[in-house]
Chains A and B, each alone.
Chain A
């Protein structure tokens, strides 16, 4: 072949090429290729189906609908039929589905060895736990952070059967049980916020982190219709203009932990104006309140001006259905006093049985579990302090649905307790600070993957009960802890009366008189029944808890569920909603007003060191008038040392600053009145 032949051949080939699809098809396809991004993850093409679930990660227990595509949970929608969700999706419920594949999840049972964690099988894990428990009989302890589940009954029955001790994590539910117990009642406190025309929140961050906040927020929305006049007045008293205060009709500046004193101050004004209550212990209550709590005294103690206090008292007295909801600004550490004082005030306002009801607690169905209030009786703080100091022995310490190594005051001591206990078992779904310190991790399945139930969180309006069933297959080799413990119990030769957790839930439904089949479909059960028992007002006027620490500023920890809860670190899908006023880079931002900053000699943007009775932290200062004078506000939820890249090493943990003090009157530790010192770092 010569050159000419080749050229002729090429010319022929080129002519031929023009009438083949090659150039035209390739051009077209190449342009499509550039638009189809085959390197991107692909979305599923199947129809979306919705299944109902009550969020267990959301402390307000809101019911939602989970969007399921092809067996994967892909999203969350509101459920208008659920009494605690009312169609809304709270921050934590919205994030819950996104956590199913969180990088922080524990993927299978893990055993700690000299070189780190080693994956083991469930059978091995159960064998190890059974062995440890039978050796440690009498020195077994368990801590649970699940305030609404029947799983606690199985745990308590097992631990009681081994002569061990069972603790609930401190929080509003424990405070409520203690308050009711001291006042001679039993059950749960219910707030009928739906029908209240005047709501006073004393400290309680009731639209964000306290009680049934999702439901409260929906009721707030209904009583404050957009574009129309409000049908109820909402007032918040607290040190920080938090998420609740910012939308309330009025914000009253009150020092951290002032709820009880303000409630008693209001009671005093009402009684001075002739208010009486036909209740047990009223005389003693009146006498004790009259001895202190004059408006001028309350102003000195709490920062609430006497004229404001009087005005609020007048408005409360004039309202048809007033409601006072009290609590700690950050949901824990108030002990029982705030609640007792507020219950006294509600009784004075004639609202017992009206705005405030006592509703029955969850009936026990597992033999040997004891009653609900018995389970809440013991205070975990002194126990863990004792373990940390080597005073209390715990040969096996088990932790369920809680992260005591992170979310309690004196965090270092609590973390040390995890190290000091001879053998620690964590049932956490996530590699949290407690799991990281555990000898054995037996990961729990998440809400959408397991059977579980939810009975009436603190502050609900009526008794409610929801059952969750597995909506998706477990993402990892995890199991429902309640089922694991039933199996361990039978290995130990104990008969708790049930073969599976599902049977426990079914028994509970029967005890409540609820329909199992409708519960199983995700429909919540509610009951209007309320107790008519009279409360004894005598213990309501207990003396004020002193400030903890010697610092110049009062510390106001702030909880926001997009940053996380004391159990769950910042969910990946919430990371974008963290504000510059909460986190700067990886530094926690604390807020104080201009006057406080001047007094403390610090400037906006400056890095400072906060020193509290529990420990120290560094933070950046943001000057905001949302905080009352003399107070520094610190966000809780940062500073994780475990978890995943979304939360690990981001900011510092403000729990470290806090220290708990004993309150012998109530028997519960308190830590809502900590003081800190500030210095430029």
Chain B
């Protein structure tokens, strides 16, 4: 019996199982849990900000009624891009497929919240945009959109790490926030956490 025990390799199977599961859990599982998608158009914030000289508020502004314009629609884009202006193939694709067809681009939103969440940009206007959003102004190619296949939540355009993004202030994921993230910030800032403050 003693002999048999030594022949089974002692702690080796334990170690193999341990390492194999770590590999599955930290490498395979994320690949399976998140679907990857690219934006339908390679939109470059850098070109618009640096070369185009535009400011963030040219596209992302508050309406008089307090609503936030969010992502501009094709009609707004077509104010400049009624025809192809540059040589970028992405722009040509945009003009041909969306402006000329009068179609809206199905942009993938990195911070998309579920339907039952009411988020007010106006209430958060004293916060820096990058508290919740990645700093898009430095973005030449939009990051890959990782979407959790189970919840539909996105990971904020960062590499798949659970809960938070890599290289990001670990407090906020900058993806689809979970309720505890909203609640914690509200609590820290002395804001109400009543249900209807965020839900609808």
**Are A and B close enough to touch in the complex, i.e. CB under 8 Å?**
yes
Complex: how many Å from CA A6 to CA B20? 13
Q: Is the CB of B20 within 8 A of A16?
A: yes
B1-51 residues at the A interface, CB under 8 angstroms: 5, 8-9, 11, 13-22, 24-26, 29-30, 33
Residues in chain A near residue B16, CB distance under 8 A: 9, 12
Complex: how many Å from CA A2 to CA B33? 33
Residues in chain B near residue A494, CB distance under 8 A: none
Chain A CB within 8 A of B183 CB: no
Q: Is the CB of A47 within 8 A of B25?
A: no
Chain A CB within 8 A of B100 CB: no
A102-125: CB near B (< 8 Å → 1, else 0) gives 000000000000000000000000
B87-125: CB near A (< 8 Å → 1, else 0) gives 000000000000000101000010010111000000000
User: Nearest A residue to B5 by beta-carbon distance?
Assistant: A4
Q: Is the CB of A70 within 8 A of B73?
A: yes
Residues in chain A near residue B20, CB distance under 8 A: 12-13, 16
Q: Is the CB of A16 within 8 A of B21?
A: yes
Complex: how many Å from CA A662 to CA B37? 72
A1-27: CB near B (< 8 Å → 1, else 0) gives 110111011111111110111100110
Using A21-B29, A29-B150, A47-B63 as known contacts, say yes or no to A8 and B162 having CB atoms under 8 A apart. no
One of B64-72, B77-85, B133-141, B188-196 contacting the partner? B64-72
Residues in chain B near residue A71, CB distance under 8 A: 73, 104
Complex: how many Å from CA A1 to CA B29? 26
Chain B CB within 8 A of A43 CB: yes
Using A21-B26, A21-B162 as known contacts, say yes or no to A9 and B150 having CB atoms under 8 A apart. no
Chain A CB within 8 A of B146 CB: no
Per a CB cutoff under 8 Å, which of B11, B19, B152 touches A36?
B152
Using A5-B13, A12-B14, A12-B18 as known contacts, say yes or no to A33 and B24 having CB atoms under 8 A apart. no
Q: Is the CB of B33 within 8 A of A4?
A: no
Complex: how many Å from CA A431 to CA B135? 53
Q: Is the CB of B21 within 8 A of A12?
A: yes
Chain A CB within 8 A of B153 CB: yes
User: Nearest A residue to B69 by beta-carbon distance?
Assistant: A47
Q: Is the CB of A42 within 8 A of B115?
A: yes
Chain A CB within 8 A of B144 CB: no
Complex: how many Å from CA A663 to CA B69? 61
Per a CB cutoff under 8 Å, which of A5, A19, A25, A47 touches B22?
A19
Q: Is the CB of A12 within 8 A of B151?
A: no
Residues in chain A near residue B19, CB distance under 8 A: 12, 16
A51-73 residues at the B interface, CB under 8 angstroms: 70-71
Residues in chain B near residue A9, CB distance under 8 A: 13-14, 16-17
Using A4-B8, A12-B13, A15-B18 as known contacts, say yes or no to A20 and B151 having CB atoms under 8 A apart. no
The size bracket of the interface on A is 35 or more
Residues in chain B near residue A29, CB distance under 8 A: 33, 148, 150-151
Per a CB cutoff under 8 Å, which of A13, A42, A70, A473 touches B18?
A13
Chain A CB within 8 A of B159 CB: no
Q: Is the CB of B21 within 8 A of A17?
A: yes
Complex: how many Å from CA A22 to CA B30? 9
A21-45: CB near B (< 8 Å → 1, else 0) gives 1100110011011011010101101
User: Nearest B residue to A29 by beta-carbon distance?
Assistant: B150
Chain B CB within 8 A of A46 CB: yes
Using A8-B8, A8-B17 as known contacts, say yes or no to A32 and B151 having CB atoms under 8 A apart. yes
Per a CB cutoff under 8 Å, which of A30, A43, A47 touches B115?
A43
Tell me the count of chain B residues lying within 8 A, CB to CB, of chain A.
Answer: 42
- Of B21, B33, B68, the most chain A CB neighbours within 10 A belong to B21
Residues in chain B near residue A11, CB distance under 8 A: 14, 17
Using A8-B17, A12-B13 as known contacts, say yes or no to A20 and B25 having CB atoms under 8 A apart. yes
Residues in chain B near residue A5, CB distance under 8 A: 8-9, 13
A186 CB to closest chain B CB, in angstroms? Answer: 45
A28 CB to closest chain B CB, in angstroms? Answer: 8
Residues in chain A near residue B186, CB distance under 8 A: none
Residues in chain A near residue B178, CB distance under 8 A: 32
Chain B CB within 8 A of A48 CB: yes
Using A12-B18, A17-B21, A32-B150 as known contacts, say yes or no to A45 and B70 having CB atoms under 8 A apart. yes
User: Nearest B residue to A42 by beta-carbon distance?
Assistant: B115
User: Nearest B residue to A23 by beta-carbon distance?
Assistant: B25
User: Nearest A residue to B25 by beta-carbon distance?
Assistant: A20
Complex: how many Å from CA A473 to CA B75? 13
Residues in chain B near residue A43, CB distance under 8 A: 115
Residues in chain A near residue B21, CB distance under 8 A: 12-17, 20
User: Nearest B residue to A8 by beta-carbon distance?
Assistant: B13
Residues in chain B near residue A70, CB distance under 8 A: 73, 104
- Of B11, B14, B65, B152, the most chain A CB neighbours within 10 A belong to B14
- Of A4, A8, A36, A43, the most chain B CB neighbours within 10 A belong to A8
A71-107 residues at the B interface, CB under 8 angstroms: 71
A171-223 residues at the B interface, CB under 8 angstroms: none
Per a CB cutoff under 8 Å, which of B5, B22, B112, B148 touches A45?
B112
Complex: how many Å from CA A189 to CA B166? 74
Q: Is the CB of B29 within 8 A of A36?
A: no
User: Nearest A residue to B11 by beta-carbon distance?
Assistant: A8
Complex: how many Å from CA A6 to CA B14? 9
User: Nearest A residue to B21 by beta-carbon distance?
Assistant: A16
Q: Is the CB of B73 within 8 A of A21?
A: no
Residues in chain A near residue B153, CB distance under 8 A: 32
Q: Is the CB of A47 within 8 A of B29?
A: no
Complex: how many Å from CA A38 to CA B11? 45
Q: Is the CB of B70 within 8 A of A12?
A: no
Q: Is the CB of A16 within 8 A of B22?
A: yes
User: Nearest A residue to B179 by beta-carbon distance?
Assistant: A32
Residues in chain B near residue A13, CB distance under 8 A: 17-18, 20-21
Q: Is the CB of A12 within 8 A of B104?
A: no
Per a CB cutoff under 8 Å, which of B5, B29, B73 touches A20?
B29
A188 CB to closest chain B CB, in angstroms? Answer: 37
Apart from A19-B22, A38-B152: 16 A-B pairs, beta carbons within 8 A:
A1-B13, A9-B17, A10-B17, A15-B18, A16-B17, A20-B24, A20-B29, A21-B29, A25-B33, A29-B148, A32-B153, A36-B151, A43-B115, A46-B71, A47-B63, A47-B70
What are the 10 closest A-B residue pairs judged by CB atoms, nearest first?
A20-B25, A12-B17, A16-B21, A12-B14, A13-B17, A12-B18, A9-B17, A47-B67, A9-B13, A16-B18
A-B contact pairs, 26 of them (CB 8 A): A4-B8, A9-B13, A9-B14, A12-B20, A13-B21, A14-B21, A15-B17, A16-B17, A16-B20, A16-B21, A17-B21, A21-B29, A22-B25, A25-B33, A25-B162, A29-B33, A29-B148, A32-B151, A32-B178, A35-B116, A36-B152, A40-B115, A46-B70, A46-B73, A47-B67, A71-B73
What residues of chain B have their CB less than 8 Å away from a CB belonging to chain A? Answer: 5, 8-9, 11, 13-22, 24-26, 29-30, 33, 63, 65, 67-71, 73, 102, 104, 109, 112, 114-116, 148, 150-153, 162, 178
